[in-house]
A and B are shown apart, each in its own frame.
Chain A
Amino acid sequence: MSLLKAENIHKRYGKEEVLRGVSLELERGETMVVIGPSGTGKSTFLRCINQLTPPDKGRVWLDGVEVTHPKCNINRLRAQMGFVFQDFNLFSHLNTLRNVSIGLIKVKGIRKEDARKLAMKELERVGLDDKIDAYPAQLSGGQQQRVSIARALAMEPKLILFDEPTSALDPELIGEVLEVMIKLAKDGMTMLVVTHEMGFARAVADEIVFMEHGVVVEQGNPQQMFSAPEHPRTGEFLNKITELYGETE
């Protein structure tokens, strides 16, 4: 049984149909990278998975539990899915340590001292254990994004959804975030990543999904997708994006 299964997801904003029946399956420990032109519904799709944006139609299962079921405990299920935002969305009034531990304390009901230890462990993992007292406004973009990854990790999620995690960063700060993500992927974390970083995709993706106009055009392993895509649009897009962003990690 796959860890995450999305079936026939539809979402419409007013007249525009952003998602027109997207289906995906993700195995435990797998890293899936979703690529595609802007405005294709990639971010909307991620939000449909953890119900931050409930889909109009379609169903989602996490580890066999239906997330889209009207009677499910959505808060509990969301806590099992990490989400990393493009613009970090750290809690401005809390320092680094509290940003990571607040979910443990308020959502999981873990005692303060224990939550602190767990948060420290995750901050070590992203290389920020020396910044625990700093507030978000005192950190660089790259550091903020690493804190937000630690915040997601601390909840011990079954998978993490990444919504263009490096798009809001200055070029010289992208590397430190990708490094953390590559390490996570290699440690066996299940990840669904929307990104334009082809270097990252090539390095760790088990599967690449090309989305356009609200549908999945093509999906396959990186080798096949990069060297011999079946669909002409996939090749076109990959060429353009590689030119634009390069392949550096």
Chain B
Amino acid sequence: MVFDVTWLPQLTQGLLLTLQITTTCIAMGIVLGILLALGRVYGNRLISTPCSIYIQIFRGTPLLVQLLMVYYGLPSWGIYPSAFVSGVLALGLNTGAYQAEYLRGAIQAVKQGQLMAARAIGMSLPQAIRYIVLPQAFRIVIPSWSNELILMVKYSSIVFSVTLLDLMGVGKRIAARNFRYFEVFVVVALFYLVLVFIISQLLRLLEHRARIPGLGEHAEQR
């Protein structure tokens, strides 16, 4: 079998779009996740209940349904988001809910006494959260957050269903023309695999660099 690779450059185009969508929705998810997590942990009932409901809805329904509701559903309300905006919006709103839950766990894992100590030296609650609780929560959340990031790289492939030409979308179009479905999708899969590998390595590096000296491997000593 002669391997025809003239379609490879097109895949690179798709890869770029995949990267663009993933980074945008992750960034959106981080901001949303922080707000939701803070709302759930520190908010009064008026704030924490809507946050919980939001998280329940977005974790409890399929991502594909959410995407289709944004792209095909919003127009019936007079809002016409582009395919790109729909993709980023659906993915971002979804990952925000997951990231909020990871971060909430991390915030609650920071020892409560430290918040009290921060208040005792005169910090306001927002200051104590910002300078004492969150820096530690972010370190704790890195491993589960890495998982979420990797998932988002792969989940972003569903945007092909709203006409976007991301890695998956381009692959599908190429295969539909040259009928080499197997070869094309193997290469597409390899692209995702390499992407995920690079990202997970970077995150391991980040996790290592953010480690607090003396904590972790020897933490059980005391």
Contact = CB atoms under 8 A, between A and B. Distances in A.
Given A137-B214, A138-B214, A151 B111 contact: no
Contacts of B150: none
A106 B132 CA distance: 11
A91 B121 contact: no
22 contacts: A52-B120, A78-B119, A78-B120, A82-B120, A85-B116, A87-B113, A90-B117, A91-B114, A91-B117, A91-B132, A92-B111, A92-B136, A92-B212, A93-B136, A103-B121, A103-B123, A135-B215, A137-B215, A137-B219, A137-B222, A151-B117, A155-B122
A92 B97 CA distance: 28
- Interface residues of chain B: helix, strand, loop or mixed (majority): helix
Contact of A89 (B114, B127, B212, B222): B114
Contacts of A152: 121
Contacts, number: 83
Nearest to A50: B120
Contacts of A75: 119, 122-124
A107 interface: yes
Contacts of B222: 137, 141
Nearest to A148: B117
Interface string A59-88: 000000000000000011011111101010
B135 interface: yes
Contact of A52 (B116, B131, B213): B116
Contacts of A50: 120
A238 interface: no
B172 interface: no
A136 interface: yes
A62 to B, nearest CB: 13
A169 B135 CA distance: 28
A183 to B, nearest CB: 21
A143 to B, nearest CB: 12
A123 interface: no
B212 A83 contact: no
The 3 A-B pairs with the shortest beta carbon distances in the complex, nearest first, are: A79-B122, A137-B214, A138-B214
B208 interface: no
A82 to B, nearest CB: 8
A92 B219 CA distance: 11
Nearest to B122: A79
A138 to B, nearest CB: 4
B128 to A, nearest CB: 9
Nearest to A152: B121
A89 B117 contact: yes
A52 B136 CA distance: 22
A95 B119 CA distance: 19
A90 B121 CA distance: 12
A211 interface: no
Contacts of A79: 121-122
Nearest to B120: A83
Nearest to A138: B214
Nearest to B118: A91
Nearest to A95: B213
B18 to A, nearest CB: 34
B218 interface: yes
Interface in A121-167: 134-138, 141, 148, 151-152, 155
Interface string B199-222: 000000000000011110011001
